[in-house]
Structure 1
Amino acid sequence: MSREQDTVAPAIDRDTAETGRMRLRGVVDEAWRDIVSGTSHAFMLMLILAALVGGLSAADLFSIRSIAQQVDRYIVSGASTYVIEFKGRISGEACERLSSVDGVLASGALRSRNDKVTSAVLPSAGIPSLDATTGALGVFASSTRSSGATLTARDYDGIWLSSQAARSVHARAGNRLALRAGGRVRVAGVFQYPDDGRSTSYDYVALSQVPAAADDFDQCLVKAWPVPDAMQSLLQSTVSSWSSDASQQPTISQLNSTQGTQLDAVKTFRERQSALAPVVMFVSALFAGYAAVRARRLELASAMHCGEPKIALWLQMLLETLMWCCSAIIVTAPLIVWALTHMETGIIISSTTLVGILSRIPAAALVGVLAGASMAMLITRERDLFRYFKNR
């Protein structure tokens, strides 16, 4: 008897497993037939969901880009560039070292010169001249960019002119400027200095590169983003010697104060209206998934009345829902790829983080439609078949 039971038990297990596989295959086949035949309205639902995912993703993406452009304008205007001025008491090396601080894009020291650059083209008006460390040249070279500038040894060979000074003497980068006293000087570069509210101290100057190993500079410029909370302390750390006279103290100012004293990009980013896009997507997808299954309640109740297990029907609805939902996500995937390759948002957010943020919307869509479909399936009952038929 025991031997007979041992023989029958594995046979029953095999039959059960085979029956389960056949039932699962039948569910998959039925789901596929519903999609192909149009019973599930998968194509229409895919288009609706794709429009929602694409629209909300685009709204959030353009909102993020708008914030990035706002930050870019703030930096380019010189609002995030700070200047400490203390005549003859700024350490060039200490100022240059600030470039290693997190958030500092470039820093360098300046010192006034007694002589001017007087060209043969305009001998009656000399160009005020400043000594500049390599970092200071980097600050001015990137004056119209939100990032720092990478200069080579060739860029330090000669003088740098502001765009206004270069126009007055008809000079261009790489040219040799004839001087009134004789000889020529190479113009290593020309930096843009727009009239947009920034300090006029540097709109008509010539910069000559000098070593930073001196403690008698007049100014230290620091271009930063995000601006460190301890910016004032950092600037004061460049002072080589303090005066005992209370009236002789360093002054700290923005290069351009017309854009406001600060820009809280983190707060602006967190409080953007499109940050609620995943929530809106989830609610919309929940409704779409619920409506898609609830509209077929008569068909589902009839199937249950004919002996189809509810769990099998639930699995079938999930498979059909997954099909049109995943298709919608795939259709909108190129939007994220395009955003990464064409939209410059790196000033406030990395590409990896941007992908993570945008991925929340399709993820919310997937969870929403599956939850909605499950809810609709849960409240669909066989005993309500007559009521479904009467209300049809």
Structure 2
Amino acid sequence: MKMRSIASEVLRNVVSGTARVPLLGLLLALTAGLAAGADVAAVHGLQNQARTFITGGGATRMLVAEDSVDRARCESLDWYRSVQASGALRQAEDLPLDALAGAGFPVYEVTAGFASLLDVESASEGAWVSEPLAESLGVATGSTLATDGRDLKVAGIFAYPDDGRDARLEYAIVMPVEGAGVFDECWMRAWPQGPDDDGLLRQALASEASTGTEVSLTQLNRSMGTSFTGTAMFDDRLTRWAPAVAAAAGLLIGFAAVRARRLEHASALHAGQSRGAMTSTAVLEAVVWSLAGAVFAGAVIYLSAGALAPENVAWVPAAMLPSLVASFGTALAGVFLGTLTVREADLFRLFKER
């Protein structure tokens, strides 16, 4: 019966506005939401940097060994968990185009895995043309290029910006080829990067490659730095203290909520309410407003993140929950601590100072 009486009083205080649920919930939502939102924004920024590093060629390594790269070994590198894509490449003879009075453009023969490396979506046979070259020639996917004696179908267009990456494919035609044979290079995009990436890439060397074969390992885009130190940047981000900030704010709000009503609580003690009942009532009221504030802040952050990057929001709850949970828990702790400072003996002094 005692718990039913406490719950009934909590409900009356919430409904009547005595518990100040909207005000306290909004205060918690603002403080915890700002802390959690700042951390979400920081993590989102790091993800964008990582994505730029990957798409810009920073995570793509190249093994260069003329006539010494095994096609099958290079293609099979994507079996490893950290390897997103791999493919072999070799240069072929330049291709003269009738539209440019027979002027030749470099042609590179590649294996099927290069489609993922260049982000080409092609379901038909034909050539892949770089975006700058396609714009110069005025062609699109499905068009044909008139060459010396035959028409070459454009099966795909691939983006290849001038951003510091190896410029050979910027104005080039790429031809996927089947069959056996050796190649000159093996490209591999690995993420996350690891210390064994170059060791994996060396596995693409043909078994018949001579010991005197000149082998070099390089990065597709060296202007982006040799590696992306995402883990270190994540660990050192300023917003890693967001849960602590949210926790401190929740504690202060909870404590202040009780202190603002200490006359009411002291009066209840004077009227015969036990300290346990008074504390339970205050804490249960805090559960309502702190939970409402945390849920509201979480919903706003999640919806905002979804509007900015709808393709990837699965990580958002993990980033914001520490701050929201911390503020919820410390708000209850603040209320409990606040009730310890309420004394019946202070009733008349508080009544005079009201």
Give the TM-score normalised by the residue count of structure 1: 0.84
CA distance in 1, matches of 2:179, 2:85: 14
Please give the residue correspondences for 1:236-315 in structure 2 after superposition, counting only pairs within 5 Å. Answer: 236-240=202-206, 241-245=208-212, 248-315=213-280
Gapped regions of structure 1 (runs ≥ 5): 1-20, 143-148
Corresponding position: 1:220 with 2:186: yes
Q: 2:198 is aligned with what amino acid?
A: Q
The equivalent of 1:72 in structure 2 is 51
**Partner residue of 2:68 out of 89, 95, 103:** 89
Residues 165 and 39 of structure 1: CA distance in aligned 2, closer, same or farther (over 3 Å) = closer
Write the deviation string for residues 214-235 of structure 1: whole angstroms up to 9, x where unpaired: 3x20001112221232111011
- Correspondence 1:196 to 2:177: no
Corresponding residue for 1:377?
339
- What CA distance in whole angstroms lies between the structure 2 residues aligned with 1:231 and 1:272? 27
CA spacing shift, 1:212–1:72, aligned 2, 3 Å: farther
1:363 has 2:304 as partner? no
Quick one: which of 321, 329, 333 aligns to 2:298? 333
Give the Cα separation in 1 of the matches to 2:140 and 2:230.
Answer: 37
Assess if the C-alpha contact under 8 Å between 2:61 and 2:189 holds in 1: yes
In the aligned structure 1, how far is the partner of 2:211 from the partner of 2:87? 26
Alpha-carbon separation, structure 2, partners of 1:165 and 1:365: 56
Runs (4+) off by over 6 Å = none
RMSD, matched Cα: 2.2
Map 1:116-135 onto structure 2 (within 5 A).
116-135=94-113
Give the distance between the partners of 1:340 and 1:99, measured in 2 at CA: 32
Tell me if structure 2 keeps the 8 A contact 1:129–1:207.
Answer: yes
Q: Which residue number in structure 1 is paired with residue 172 of structure 2? A: 205
CA distance in 1, matches of 2:62, 2:278: 71
Matches within 5 A, 1:122-201: 122-140=100-118, 142=119, 151-154=121-124, 157-179=125-147, 181-201=148-168
* Distance change (3 Å), C-alpha of 1:298 and 1:26: same
Deviation digits for residues 123-143 of structure 1 (CA, Å, limit 9, x no counterpart) = 342111111100123212x2x
Distance 1:123 1:163 in 2: 21
> Contact (CA 8 Å) 1:109, 1:212: kept in 2 or not?
no
3-state SS of paired residue (2:221) = coil
Q: TM-score if structure 2 supplies the norm length?
A: 0.92
Deviation at 1:386, TM superposition (A): 4.6
Query: Partner of 2:272: helix, strand, or coil?
Result: coil
Q: 2-side partners of 1:67 and 1:132: how far apart?
A: 33
CA distance in 2, matches of 1:40, 1:126: 80
Within 1, Cα distance between the matches of 2:77 and 2:308?
Answer: 30
Aligned residue number for residue 5 of structure 1:
none
How far is the alpha carbon of 1:196 from its aligned partner?
A: 0.8
Q: Is 1:45–2:24 an aligned residue pair? A: yes
3-state DSSP class of the match of 1:121?
A: helix
Alpha-carbon distance, 1:389 to partner: 4.5
Partner SS, residue 98 of structure 2? coil
Please, which runs of 5 or more residues in structure 2 have no aligned partner? none
Provide the C-alpha distance between the structure 1 equivalents of 2:84 and 2:304, rounded to a whole number of angstroms: 25
Query: In structure 2, what is the Cα distance between the partners aligned to 1:128 and 1:212?
Result: 21
